[in-house]
Structure 1
Amino acid sequence: MNTKQLTYFLAVAEELHFGRAAERLDIAQPPLSRQIKQLETELGAVLFNRGRSAITLTQAGERLLKRGKSIMSQLEDTQLEIRRLGQGAEGRLRIGFVGSATYGILPNIIKSYRASYPEVNLSLVPMNNAGLHRALVSRELDIAFARPALKDSEFVTRPLIEEPLIAAVPDNHPLSSGETLDLSSLSRPNLVLYPEYPRPSYADVVLGFCEAQGIDISRRVWTMDLQTALSLVAIGEGICIVPGSVGTSQRNGLRFLQIEPALGHTSLSVNYRLDEQGLHIRNFIQIAQSVSRNMP
């Protein structure tokens, strides 16, 4: 039994009249009758009681009518689901991101994507760059927001934003009353750095900029993530060099100061596998780039 035969059977079973069923199906009555007879032969069961003035369903026909409606309904639902998946309107996306991305562009990208594709399930996982790289390689992630980028010949990298580095200092820091901080004026500053491993990492970018300007980097406090680093700064363990977007969110015990002279810049990128052709990812990347272009 194929779907064409089942469609013909359902039309006759619902109309209980071969002529009306043939008209509904837009075919001639003789081919319809032959199809029903062939179906009965294949199934080994009579589906209709054929009288002179009317036809009725046999027990086998009633059962097939019930099951056939369910089968066709499931088939239609499946076709719709597959079509919507193909259009990128349903499905899932697994997104990894460095913690600092949540202070800037990432929330706006997620909001914009959800507005356009509300039926797509989003899984959001914070990771450092090393974790993002491993997860993309193993296909545990579909998209990765990295700082500055993930270097791999199998990845596509799309730059999103570039922002200055600023200083997070305790709110009782002697220099916290101003709006800027000259790092070279500090005597052996205690630098709170993240992540501690694996290396190289964002911390090495910061250390490289400091070394280039002759800033003393001998005193270091290591931690694994941005949130812990900011907590350590808030209790007076040192200062932390962070992306400028982090300073847009106020936090008790902290002040964010512009660094003068400027220490350097950091960038955020969105990365995905070169062999990934899914429409979900293409749609997400387009929205991410659109949001980044409209950022002030």
Structure 2
Amino acid sequence: MEIRQLQYVVRVAETLHFGRAAELEHIAASALSTHIRRLESRLDVKLFERTPHQVLVTPAGVHFVREAQEILDRLDRLRTETQSIARSATEHLSIGFFGEALGELTHQVFGAFAAEFPQTRLEFTELSMSTQFEDLGSGVVDVAFFRMPIDDPRFEVRPLFQERLYAAVAAAGPFGQAASLTVEDIIDQPFAVAGDTTPTEWADFWTLAGVRGAPGRTGALVRTLNESLSAVAYSGAIDTYPASATRTFRHPGVRFIPISDAPASIQAFVWRRGSANPMIPELLEVTRAVIRDHIDDLPEAESLVD
């Protein structure tokens, strides 16, 4: 039994005329009649009484038409609901970011995406350094812009660009007037360290533990960049920031000094493996295109996009 056969039976019952029913269904009258005869043969039931002057619905046909209409209505609701779910996924994208996001390219990326996909509602969530990875993993956001390193099997990671690392130091402290620093200059200083729930490899990068080969001194435990800046300005701690963050976050008690030999900081586009939101690859492509075309708008950055 085919859906179209149900449609044809219902249409004939509505019109009580095979010719008019065929016109409404955009099919030849002979073809429509053949479909119904085949259905009647399969059911071994006569649905319609045909005479030269009229068409009548049999008692069995009345029951069949009623049930067929209910099935068609259910199918129509199923189609509508399924399309609604698909539109909902297409029309919403939750984006998480920590700190400066994409720096000077942030507006260009989201402006370009909004122009290309005006039907998609973007929702932005500022993440903390201690919970950012869990927020993506648990579905608080669909996609995020994270600083590497990221060693988590739940995520797909696409590096975007890399940039120089700066030391955040107290303006009134011993390094406040330096033109540049080396890793050796600051390696033994107390650092502002990301809170205990932050992945170890991520927290270690910002305290230069990888260069040191061991954890360093903890000057303060912090969860946000504002807490970091306060720890640097008033608690004698040092922290490290990517170049774009030094232009986004300012504090009168903090100076940012370039570290000449520190590893570069890499910004990445990250999402959960297996995510079904069709707008994630679209946002990735827009982001990559903006970086390819406008990386010079991000001072001291080098594109990692092919």
Using structure 2 for the length normalisation, give the TM-score: 0.63
Aligned pairs for 1:1-296 within 5 A: 2-12=2-12, 15=15, 17-33=17-33, 35-36=35-36, 38=39, 52=53, 67=70, 70-71=73-74, 73-78=76-81, 80=83, 90=90, 97=97, 99-100=98-99, 102=101, 104=103, 108-117=108-117, 118-119=119-120, 124=125, 126=127, 128=129, 132=133, 143-151=143-151, 156-169=156-169, 173=172, 180=179, 182=181, 190-196=190-196, 197-208=198-209, 211=212, 218=217, 220-233=219-232, 235=234, 237-251=236-250, 253=252, 255-259=254-258, 261=260, 263-272=262-271, 279-293=278-292, 294-295=294-295, 296=297
Partner of 1:238: helix, strand, or coil? coil
Conserved? CA contact 1:101–1:268, under 8 Å: no
Q: Which amino acid aligns with 1:158?
A: R
Across the aligned residues of Structure 1 and Structure 2, the Cα RMSD in angstroms comes to 5.1
Partner of 2:164: helix, strand, or coil? strand
% same residue: 21
> Deviations for 1:6-29, whole angstroms, at most 9, x for unmatched residues?
322454356553202213334333
Give 1:185 deviation, angstroms.
7.3
Take 1:39 and 1:258, find their aligned partners in 2: how far apart are those partners? 86
Take 2:14 and 2:192, find their aligned partners in 1: how far apart are those partners? 75
Q: Which amino acid aligns with 1:242?
A: Y
Q: Which amino acid aligns with 1:7?
A: Q
Partner of 1:200: helix, strand, or coil? helix
Give 1:223 deviation, angstroms.
2.1
**Structure 1 portions without partners, runs of 5+:** none
With over 3 angstroms needed to count, the CA separation of the structure-2 counterparts of 1:122 and 1:62, relative to structure 1, is farther
| Deviation larger for 120-129 or 267-276 | 120-129
With over 3 angstroms needed to count, the CA separation of the structure-2 counterparts of 1:121 and 1:78, relative to structure 1, is farther
Q: Which amino acid aligns with 1:200?
A: E
